[in-house]
Structures are given as C-alpha cells and as structure tokens.
Structure 1
Amino acid sequence: MNSKASGDLQIMLENARDYDTLEVTIFLRGEPAADALERSDEDTAAPAVEGIKAQAAAEQQGLLDYLSAASASELTVDDAVAVPKVQAVDTSWVTNSISARVTPDILRQLLERDDVLTVDVSRTVDIEELLDDRSATRTTRKTRATSAPADDAADSPPTPTWSVQRINAPMLWQLGITGRGVLAAVIDTGVNYHHPDLKSQMWNGGASYPKHGYDFASEDTDPIDEAGHGTSCAGIVAGNGAKGQGTGVAPEATVMALRVGGQERNYWKAFEFAIDHGVRVISMSMSWKYPNNPNYTGWRRACEALAAARILHANSIGNQGDQPSIYPVPYNIATPGNCPPPGCIPCRPRSGKDVRDRVRCD
C-alpha cells in the first residue's frame, strides 16, 4: 500500500490489469494558493493570482516533462491493440494538480516521486447528487435552449419577494448598494440567459464567450441551463423583477454563467475561469457530499485561491444535518463548506487527508 494513493485508488490499482487506464488527479507538494494568502495584502489580488500561477507552473514542470515523455510509450495488448501509457493530461493552477489517464505501471512510478503529495481518482458523479435543491426539472441537452419564458414585462415596479425583504436587501438598495458594477459567477447547471428577469443582467463575454459564460461539462461556450436549478440560483443573485417579482438580492449585478456537470475538476476549472475574467462574487448552490468522497486537498486549495484573488465565495453546505447516521459530524456539512476559512491557515495542517483535522482550528 502506498500512502500517497487514496483508498479508492489503491483498490483500483490492486485490481487493474496491465493495460487498463486509470483517470487520476495528481497533487503536487507545493501550496501556491496558501503561500499567496500568507504573504498578500488586501489590495494585491492580481499579483497574488499571478504568483499562484507562476509557482504552480514551476512546480508542475518536472512532472509534466515526465508525463510528456511517457505519453510516447505504448503498452501492447495484442497484435492489433496498443494502449498509450499516458493520455489526456490537464493542469490546474488553483489546486496545483495535474490530471491524466495513466496505466498502472505509470501510476506506480508517480507514487514514488518526491514532488507528488497525493494521487486520487478523478471523480465524476450524477449531477443530482450535487444539487442542494432537487426541485428543479431536468431537461435534455437538445431541448434546453428552447425553454425561455414569455417576455412580458410587468406594468408596475417589481415587488421584492419575501426572502429578499426578510434579509432587508431593499434597505441596502436605498443606500445605492444594488450590485451595480459587480460581476457574479453562478457555478451550477447553467443559466437560462433568455429569462426576462436575467437577460439584461448577463455578462458580456465578447466574441469569445457570446452566450455569457462557459459550459465545462460539454466543453463549449453555451452554458444554457438544462435543469432549471442554475437559473433559479441566478435569479436569487440578480433577478431584476422584469416579470413582476424581484427575486434578486443584487438586482443590478452582472451574472456570468458557468455550467460544470458532475466532474469534480470542472468546478476547479470554473474557479480559474472566474478568477481570470474579473469575477468578484461566486455563488454556488451545489456541494460534494460525504458519500461521494470529495477531494479535500483540491477543494481547500481551490478555495484558498479564490480568497487570494479577493473573491467572495458563497456556497451551500447541503441539507444533511438531520442524517447523522449517513453524514456524521463534521461530514454533515458538505464540501467545500467543511474546508476551513482562510483565517485558519496558520494552524491548519496542509496534508488534506482528513477533513476532521482541517475543521479544527485552535
């Protein structure tokens, strides 16, 4: 048993055939985001981000060179079939990690490298497992772009919903705090950017991102909502009440739509996209639950990168507080909510192996 491999990965490796390929995420030892947080000041978001990128790139270079060389090798299965030993290499600077599909012999070599902290399975789960409100209706990829509500604006000023009034948001509006000039990324199932309450609020991504964001699940530039959940959440952020009810707490904020699907590393890619495009707020009402074995090292590092970039990250924590037999404390709080706040950095172990070590901060 190699202590660098997660439990799930150890089982897969023990049962893998020589020609199997395993999709893994390799975490380097360095902590660029945490280091940036410890040395940064409040007004130095851009230098902090550049520092994270530079440090991650430098620390990943040796491993990337190794994977590049190994990708030229193949494992012969029979006369007609040969399997590349390394495929689909991708990097993440917010988590200082590299993902790849590798054969068991390459994985064993990775586990022996001094620059590797841990290696885990690259996780993908059903999107329904991640949503913290499953009342939204699922639609198909082919039909999702046709579901725009009728564009009939209300005749009278919008009435704030009970929830908006409950938190006294209208009092802030009277002070001129409406979200104007603030770019908020909604990381979710996408956003129906045709919705009357949202269409004037959507981010202008120019020619590169004409549909107001990116779809990391399908790897295209159309993040139209296919489930309804993301649109509902975007409405809570910035719904302007064009249909008569003001659902948004910041009705003049701008919304960037980032659709992620059920692959864990897509969330970290969405974080990178948000940072690179000037987002100031991230709203994410999806979380990784304890039974799905979230990678705590990756989530902690990603959240530290957001903090270093001076991004306010609001995230749901699941609805499992009343199910202690399935979600024992502290796992009743879903990830990334059970990653510690940036203020705990000086006393937080950086191994990332046990969430119970990281939620305790003496």
Structure 2
Amino acid sequence: MHLANRPLRSLSCHIAFALAAACSASVIQAAQIDSAVTAEAARSGSVDTLIVLQAKASKDLLRTDGNYLERRRALVDLLRTTADVSQADLRRWLDAEGVAYRPYWIVNTIQARLTAAQVNELAARSDIARIASNAPIQLRMPQQSEALQPQPQAPNAIEWGVNKIKAPQVWALGITGAGIVVAGQDTGIRWTHNAIKAKYRGWDGAVANHNYNWHDAIHAVNSSCPADSPQPCDDNGHGSHTVGTMLGDDGVTNQVGVAPGAKWVGCRNMNAGAGTPATYNECAQWLLAPTDLTGANPNPDLAPDVIGNSWGCPDSEGCTTGQEAREAIENLISGGIMFVAAAGNDGSACGTIGDAPGTYDNVFTIGSTTQSDAMSGFSGRGPVTGANQVKPDVIAPGSSVRSITRSSDTAYTSLSGTSMATPHVAGAVALVMQANPGLRGNPAAVAALLRSTAVPLTSSTQVCGGIPATTFPNPVQGYGQIDVLAAVNKAEKIFADDIEP
C-alpha cells in the first residue's frame, strides 16, 4: 500500500483529526437541502435521498510514483478509509432511527429514505454538506433508425462504422484489443448473445463466473430483470447495443464491434431506463474496484481499462446542480480508467451538449457522424459553458449503427445517437492500448493521441462559439473523426519507450 508512505492506521488518524477540527470550526453551516427533497417529503411523508458528507478524501496524501495499479490501490484505500471514518457517527444515527441505508465511498455519501423530520434533523448536523434528491429520471433514448425489434442477421460482415474508423486495417496488424478490458454501465447487457458471450470476462468457454465481472446497482424490481440480478441482464436493449459496438463479433457474418479481441465487464445502473445519482455512483464505485456478487472484497486490480458511457444525467437528476457524479467520474479517471461519454442528442443547434458527464473537462466526449461523413443532425454541439476543454473532443459513427439487442441471442437492430458513436471510441481505445500497453492507466495520453490523429470533416460548415468551421478543434466536431489506424501507428512510434506499463 502506498499512501505517501503512511500506513492505513496513520491515515485513519489523520482523517479523524481533520474531521474533529472541522466539526469544532464555526464556519460549518447547516446542510443544503434540495428543494425536491422538501417537496417530496411534504407530499409523500418520506423521500429517497443522497446524504452528502462534508469530509472529502485528500488526494494530496497519495504518492504519484509507482505504476497505475499501485496508484489505483492507494486511491481506493484512501476513499474507503475516508468514508469509513467520517460516516461512522451518521451510520449509528441511522441505525438508531431504524433507517435502511446504503453507504458509498467513491463519493462520500449515503443513500437513505427519510421522513421530513429526519431530513430536518440531519440538516442541522455539521458533518453533512447536502441532502440531495435520489429520484429516478428516465433515460432519453437514442433515435431509432428501425424499430427496436429483432432483425435478420443480414450478412453485413463488417459494419460501416467499424470500417469507417479503419479498425479492420488495425486487425490486419494483429491488434484486436486482446488483453484489454472494456466496460459498459447502462441498462444492462444480454451476456449470452452470440456476438459477445465469448468475450465476457466471466465466461471461460464452459462455465460462467459473474464475481468481479458483473454488478447490478438496481435493488428494487421495476423491469424484466430481477433486482440484484446475479448475472448480466438487460431490460431495455440500449446497454447491449453499446457493448456490441465495442467488441461484438459472432465469428460468422456479424462483425459489429471495433475491438473483437477485448474482454468486457458490466454494471446495470438504470431500472427500466431510469437511473438515479446513487445507481450511477454505485456502478462507478464497482468499476473502480470490482467486487464479488455479495458486494464484498473489492479488487481495484480487476477494474476495466476503458468505460463506454452512453447516457446523460441532466440538471434535474442532480448531476449538474450537485457534484456527486462529477466527483465519482474524476475518481475513476484518477484511477487510470479512460472514461468515454456521449455528447447527447439535442443538436443540431450550438450549445446543445448540456448533460453530465459529457460536459466535464476530463471526460472524453463524443459527437456523432453519418455514413456520408457529415455531422449527424441530432449530435450535441458545443460550446459548453464553463468548460476549459472544447467539446466534443472527437466524433465517430453514430447514425444507423447496427449492433446486438436483448431480444434473443441472435437479434440485431440499428439505432442512431451519440450513444452509438461513443462505443466506437471505447473500442478504439482498446485497440490503441493493446498496440502500446504503456497507455493503460494513462487516459490523458490516450485522449491526446486520439485527438491528434482525428480527421476533420470538410463537409461541416456550421460555426459555433465563434470558431470558424475550418479551425480545429471546434465546438461542432472537436478535432474531427477518429482514425484508429493512425492512432495505433502513432502510439507505436511515440509512446513505445517513454510510457510506463
């Protein structure tokens, strides 16, 4: 363990001392209560909340040397210790009140259903920063090019988007994503589908082991999947479709994925298409340190290398007004995991990338293109108010993308959305990381590489943010459409000797 050369017990004492000092300080104010919490408690008598604690992990305690796995282990230890120490008194209070709750450490929070009186009592505590709503909000689904129904296994061989970013030329070099783990956190995954079953990290060809490979953050039934599903399940189809584009290949005529040699793991963070800040952060926590099926024995060494994130969390869901989702994602990235996110489908006007996490600077944000090398009309455009990074970062195929769905183990469908563009990029990341394993654990270097090798679309003349369409990056297409062959070639030449594996 490497925590600035401090053993865990010393770190606990450090945190406890800091908390004692904070609690005695006069600057601590009453917790902020979201208006939605007050309104729902008054209407229903109780409300599902996310209790945000004041204490935050001090990342300056972490050493910066060592390889990325050592740094990730230290980060997880720090986050867990901070939560354990700072939540202890609050957990005792909840136990005494008979309140069921679920604690988290990736962000120092506790999810609990509270009465109005309990909300008011907690709001006066000095160790609580905010009491936020944990109400579910429905995912805004991508546009459908065709009805979400099983379709014939058309002999498309390699799908157009996979061809467009030059993945087959990379495969010809012997690079298919082998040794790299991609992850989906979405509506779930039909793990038995012919195009992805053999690529599931929990499948050895004969027996399935879902420990450390699958987590269900949905703990109450509202869909065709059971609560706390012990195996991957998809109640919508959206999550399966995105994983298929990352790596799907049935070995026959359906090469729908960019990195067919990679492995995948997954987490369900939406219940019938509706997620909450707690379910999003629970999946983020599991992805940073996967656990067994009981939620125990977290192991950060089994975290994925890249996460494809094809959902948006709007302001109304608490991901912009609050910082809980941002903090969780920043911790994933601090743990050396590449986080690829959709720009959203509110285009074509300027300033339409509006939902987290696509608005965050350190997230790699993806816009969508058509088969004829034009910007998809629905693709969100920048600029993003307050962002220091031009958004989107890059663009990728997202219109009429054919991939797997949940209907059966042989079902496919075509969808359109930045949800479909994003997994093209996640798959490309897997190819680049196999080409140079030194890029694993270094998301900033991968992002820089994909930006520097992207190809601008000359057909796009739209101007947003006052930046000419001929200037790159710009808020319409970022640096341009990814070219994974160029990225792999550059990775092998530039990063071969100077990036630590």
Q: TM-score, normalised by structure 2?
A: 0.55
Provide the rounded CA distance (Å) in 2 between the counterparts of 1:244 and 1:110: 58
Provide the residue aligned with 1:213 in structure 2: 214
Contact 1:197–1:243, Cα closer than 8 Å, also in 2: no
Change (3 A) 1:133 1:290: farther
Contact 2:341–2:363, Cα closer than 8 Å, also in 1: no
Provide the rounded CA distance (Å) in 1 between the counterparts of 2:230 and 2:147: 23
Aligned counterpart in structure 2 of residue 106 of structure 1, from 118, 131, 144: 118
Provide the residue aligned with 1:271 in structure 2: 284
Task: State the number of aligned residues.
Answer: 315
Provide the residue aligned with 2:342 in structure 1: 316
Contact 1:236–1:247, Cα closer than 8 Å, also in 2: yes
2:367 matches 1:341:
no
Aligned counterpart in structure 1 of residue 184 of structure 2, from 183, 186, 203: 186
Provide the residue aligned with 1:69 in structure 2: 93
Deviation of 1:260 after TM superposition, in Å, equals: 2.0
Change (3 A) 1:100 1:285: same
Provide the residue aligned with 1:253 in structure 2: 262
Provide the rounded CA distance (Å) in 1 between the counterparts of 2:86 and 2:327: 20
Provide the rounded CA distance (Å) in 2 between the counterparts of 1:119 and 1:299: 15
Provide the rounded CA distance (Å) in 2 between the counterparts of 1:361 and 1:231: 30
Provide the rounded CA distance (Å) in 2 between the counterparts of 1:51 and 1:98: 20
Aligned counterpart in structure 2 of residue 22 of structure 1, from 20, 34, 47: 47
Question: What secondary structure is seen at the aligned counterpart in 1 of 2:233?
Answer: coil
Provide the rounded CA distance (Å) in 1 between the counterparts of 2:94 and 2:212: 38
Provide the rounded CA distance (Å) in 2 between the counterparts of 1:37 and 1:169: 41
Provide the rounded CA distance (Å) in 1 between the counterparts of 2:356 and 2:91: 30
Deviation of 1:93 after TM superposition, in Å, equals: 1.3
CA RMSD of aligned residues (A): 3.6
Per-residue CA distance 1:335-362 (angstroms, 9 max, x = gap): 111123179xxxxxxxxxxxx8863579
Aligned counterpart in structure 2 of residue 131 of structure 1, from 132, 135, 141: 141
Provide the residue aligned with 2:243 in structure 1: 234
Alignment of 1:40-79 (within 5 A): 40-41=64-65, 43-73=67-97
Aligned counterpart in structure 2 of residue 160 of structure 1, from 158, 161, 181: 158
Contact 1:131–1:287, Cα closer than 8 Å, also in 2: no
Provide the rounded CA distance (Å) in 2 between the counterparts of 1:358 and 1:53: 32
Per-residue CA distance 1:243-302 (angstroms, 9 max, x = gap): 413111101111213222223222221122222232111112122234444354111111
Change (3 A) 1:35 1:361: farther
Question: What secondary structure is seen at the aligned counterpart in 2 of 1:107?
Answer: helix
Change (3 A) 1:243 1:88: farther
Deviation of 1:92 after TM superposition, in Å, equals: 1.4
Deviation of 1:64 after TM superposition, in Å, equals: 3.5
Change (3 A) 1:51 1:211: closer
Higher RCO, 1 or 2 (CA under 8 Å, sep at least 6)?
1
Provide the residue aligned with 2:134 in structure 1: 122
Per-residue CA distance 1:146-165 (angstroms, 9 max, x = gap): x9x99x998xxx83211111
2:102 matches 1:90:
yes
Provide the residue aligned with 1:35 in structure 2: 59
Question: What secondary structure is seen at the aligned counterpart in 2 of 1:71?
Answer: helix
Alignment of 1:285-300 (within 5 A): 285-294=310-319, 296-300=322-326
Per-residue CA distance 1:157-210 (angstroms, 9 max, x = gap): x83211111111122223333110111111122222222211211121787517
Provide the rounded CA distance (Å) in 1 between the counterparts of 2:342 and 2:181: 19
Provide the residue aligned with 2:458 in structure 1: none
Q: What are the ranges of 5 or more consecutive residues in structure 2 without an aligned counterpart? A: 1-28, 219-226, 291-301, 365-383, 391-501
Q: Following superposition, which runs of at least 4 residues in structure 1 exceed 4 angstroms of deviation?
A: 36-39, 133-139, 205-208
Provide the rounded CA distance (Å) in 2 between the counterparts of 1:359 and 1:118: 24
Amino acid at match of 2:176: T
Change (3 A) 1:105 1:316: same
Provide the residue aligned with 1:9 in structure 2: 37
Change (3 A) 1:312 1:360: closer
2:329 matches 1:303:
yes
Question: What secondary structure is seen at the aligned counterpart in 2 of 1:66?
Answer: helix
Provide the rounded CA distance (Å) in 1 between the counterparts of 2:81 and 2:200: 33
Contact 1:213–1:223, Cα closer than 8 Å, also in 2: yes
Question: What secondary structure is seen at the aligned counterpart in 1 of 2:106?
Answer: coil
Provide the rounded CA distance (Å) in 2 between the counterparts of 1:68 and 1:338: 37
Per-residue CA distance 1:41-98 (angstroms, 9 max, x = gap): 572344444434434433453444233234324xxxxxxxxxx4xx221111112211
Q: TM-score, normalised by structure 1?
A: 0.74
Aligned counterpart in structure 1 of residue 197 of structure 2, from 176, 199, 205: 199
Deviation of 1:233 after TM superposition, in Å, equals: 0.9
Change (3 A) 1:180 1:244: same
Contact 2:201–2:263, Cα closer than 8 Å, also in 1: yes
Contact 1:240–1:252, Cα closer than 8 Å, also in 2: no
